[in-house]
Amino acid sequence: MKESLREILSTPMSRDTAEQLLMEWYSWARRCRVVQMKKLATSIKEHLTGILNGFTSHLSNGRAKASTP
């Protein structure tokens, strides 16, 4: 499950395709028995707009987050 999310997030694709795949992943994760996956699914859904914007803008705040102690 974790690997499928990683693949979705690292593969270049259209915003619409990304949204469809993320919502399928969300549905799958919400049915999972692992509490941490359910929490991650909720977080993905709450931040879906920002995540999808990354597929169109190809920008990330990764460097800023990496330099924060």
Task: Assess if residue 68 is contained within a domain.
Answer: no
* Exposed / middle / buried, residue 22 (Cβ in 10 Å: 0-12, 13-18, 19+): buried
The pLDDT profile of the chain, 69 residues, written as one tens digit per residue, is: 889 999 999 999 999 999 999 999 999 999 999 999 999 999 999 999 999 998 887 666 565 556 656
**pLDDT at residue number 25:** 96
User: Total domain count for the chain?
Assistant: 1
Give the domain range for residue 15.
2-59
Task: Assess if residue 67 is contained within a domain.
Answer: no
Cβ atoms within 10 Å, residue 47: 11
| Cα–Cα distance for residue pair 69/63, rounded to 1 Å | 12
Task: Assess if residue 13 is contained within a domain.
Answer: yes
